[in-house]
Amino acid sequence: MKKNMTRVSRRALCLAAFLIAGMASRAIARTDGQDSIVHAEVMAWSNITGVRLEGELIDFESTLRVGVPGQRMEQSGRERQSRIRYHREGNTQTTLTPMHAVDITQKVTDLDAHRVALSWKAEAKETLTNQGAYFCMTFTPRYYASAKIKTSGRKVTVEAPERKLTLTFDRKVKTTCRKEGDNQVLYVTLLPSLQKGAVGELSAELNVDGVRHHETAEIAIDTSRPGREFAGLGGNFRLQNPGTDPMVIDYCLRNMRVAFGRVEMPWRAWDEKGAQDQHVRQSAEMARRLKKDGMPVIVSCWFPPKWAGEQTTRSNGFDRAWHLKAGQTDRIYASLFSYLDFLKRDYGVEADYFSFNESDLGIDVVMSPQEHCHFIKSFGAYLAQRDMKTLLLLGDNSDATTFDFILPALHDPAARRYIGAISFHSWRGCDDMTLGKWAAAAREINVPLIVGEGSTDAAAWQYPAIFKESTFALYEINLYTRLCALTQPLSILQWQLTADYSLLWGAGIFRSEGPLRPTQRFFNLKQLSLTPAYAFFVPAVCGKQDVNVAAFHKASTGQLAIHIVNNAASCQAHITSLPANMSRATVYITNRRQQAEEQTVQLAGGEASIEMPAESFVTVIAE
């Protein structure tokens, strides 16, 4: 109770200083010398999620919108627009977002400790006189429930108890503020109406200030309540880039512990050319390499032979997919089995699991939930009759949102016997409630849960420069930490550990120059891979917002791993309830400046105190 009172008091004093000083940030900031300049979080599709002030996210979400305010409008967002462009040069991030009837170019430049320069150029492609183009900022209730937003000609101010933002435009501009649900939304007019060929240009300076929460993160670990096992970080190894894949794969396998692998079954090429096909041989060799390193191996299929499928659409109703022909079932099963048997016989790899990739959506075989259930039962029985130990993945869904796809098989006793694990991909919909459904499903039928494809943006191949951004790296590892804590997966399989969505840069990857080198994303995953093999998840509780924790304990060896994402300003982590016999630990830190930087800390009485830099991924390894 005393610790809780201390935390509340510290937060109250911090807030009081913030108000009394008239937003004078230096009166409340910890001057650690590492953040003399703000940095804006810009998504590749143009949305700004806030501005980092000494690591503290002064949050809002900007969108570009086209239409009529108060009515249905097109909004910029992840996977909502195509042909978008993202580029960074120095402190400037530039996005080009093609929208309905207008293209909008946005530039965001970090200036100094409080200021960001913004500019927009909207170019109308069609005439829509009753619609306009807007830059919008959404303020949610968490910090802005009592915010006062004032607009006047060239200036907008947003004042809340812990936040202050000021927008100063280069000219007089029309701005309005609307209440939309629980949020307040500021509309800044870029083009009042769309006349083909019209161009609207606007610039502004954004000044931000706010409380930086340096309060200690109190973290409690409970090793007395072990949960499920974590084999470790895994990876996808679908070969698509012959010139660059080998060096990326070699680097990743040499420099981090990879515990699980997923490879492609090149079914179409196998059916047409068999083992003579180079891609077939390379994919089989990839599986052998992973199995030789002791990994369980998932074999997943994308493209069927033309005779096996009829062209249809994905479940979204418009993109192309393939539906397996009902009249070809015997031939389909025989062909699939022949490849798995070839892999076992010629390469010594009996696949642990098989799936059609994202059949809920149709990339590229599409099934209904009932068809998915039937396939698991019938093909599972087919493999069992031929003494193949390979089991089926339930789901392997395109994202977490399509959970209902797995329900028929989940509730069918005849299907359960052939289900080796439940799998989903982490591209979308990873809110706490949805993730809880996946964890519960795995517990219901007592099989592992696997994140078959891990990362945050399935469309990122269109704008690969985003892979170098610290923002992207932090969001990715923050998601993985939450996935571990909330779902206890057997493995999270990174998409990919090849040159596709690469963790490395240089050597021609995404046309990059310079030598092959790791990005911040690589070092984040390297730290995650330090988790002892098949350690058990254990409860980890942290009362501080914007700090996420996942913990693992391997009682048989006495090893402990704690992964902490500090998604805010620098602070100290005070960890309690550690095994009393542990005397010291190794701490690894990755952020924009540090690359799995290593230090040693002393443990005493089952407690440890660790300094966590702003916006950092911190790993504690003790034994």
**Residue 58: inside a domain:** yes
Q: Give bridge partners of residue 168 from the DSSP assignment.
A: 155, 205
Position 7 pLDDT exceeds 50: no
231 falls within a domain = no
Q: Measure the CA–CA gap between 186 and 592, rounded to whole angstroms.
A: 31
Does 244 fall in a domain? no
pLDDT surpassing 50 at residue 28: no
Q: How many domains does the chain have?
A: 1
pLDDT at 123 > cutoff 90: yes
pLDDT tens, 299-320? 999 999 999 999 999 999 989 9
How would you list the strands of the sheet with 547-554, edge to edge? 229-230, 535-538, 547-554, 559-566, 616-622, 584-590, 597-602
Q: Is position 618 within any domain?
A: no
**Residue of 449, 358, 443 lying closest to 401 (CA atoms):** 358
HSE-CB at 309 with a 13 A cutoff on CA atoms is 22
**Mean pLDDT, to the nearest integer, of 502-508?**
97
Please report the pLDDT score of residue 2 as a whole number. Answer: 33
Residue 31 in this model has a pLDDT that exceeds 70: no
Q: Is the pLDDT of residue 543 over 80?
A: yes
Task: State pTM to two decimals.
Answer: 0.94
Model confidence over 273-298: pLDDT tens digits?
A: 999 999 999 999 999 999 999 999 99
What local confidence, expressed as pLDDT, does residue 22 receive? 38
What DSSP state is assigned to residue 332?
Answer: H
80 belongs to a structural domain? yes
What average pLDDT does range 409-438 have in this prediction? 98
pLDDT beyond 90 at 9: no
pLDDT of residue 5: 35
Residue tagged 């690894």 (tokens): 588
Strand partners, 87: 94
Residue 36: the pLDDT is: 74
Give the containing element (helix H, strand E) for 590: strand 584-590
Angstrom distances, CA of residue 333 to CA of 336, 375, 417, 420, 493: 5, 10, 18, 18, 27
How far apart are alpha carbons 124 and 99 in whole angstroms?
A: 10
Mean pLDDT of the chain, nearest integer: 94
The pLDDT value given to residue 198: 97
DSSP 253: H
The answer, yes or no, to whether residue 326 has pLDDT greater than 90, is yes
Predicted confidence band of residue 153 (pLDDT cuts 50, 70, 90): confident
Contacts of 223 (CB under 8 A, 6+ apart): 538, 553, 555, 560, 577, 578, 579
- Are the C-beta atoms of 63 and 187 separated by less than 8 Å? no
Give yes or no for a contact between 444 and 436, defined as CB atoms under 8 angstroms apart.
no
pLDDT surpassing 90 at residue 487: yes
313, 314, 315, 316 alpha-carbon torsion, rounded to 10°: -90
Residue 36 sits in a domain whose CATH number is 2.70.98.10
Read off φ and ψ for residue 467, nearest 5 degrees: -65, -20
Task: Domain of residue 18: give its range.
Answer: 2-210
Q: What is the DSSP letter of 606?
A: T
Residue 344 phi/psi, 5-degree rounding, is -75, -45
Alpha helix positions (H), 207-305: 245-255, 267-273, 278-292
Average pLDDT over residues 355-382: 98
Q: Provide the pLDDT confidence category of residue 455 given band limits of 50, 70 and 90.
A: very high
Q: Can you give the pLDDT at residue 35?
A: 57
Degrees (nearest 5) of the Cα angle 51, 55, 57?
40
Q: Where are the alpha helices (DSSP H) in 458-604?
A: 470-487, 520-528
What is the distance between the alpha carbons of residues 438 and 442, in angstroms, rounded to a whole number? 6
Radius of gyration, CA atoms only, the chain = 26
The answer to the question of residue 226 being in a domain is no
Task: Give residue-wise pLDDT tens across range 461-476.
Answer: 999 999 999 999 999 9
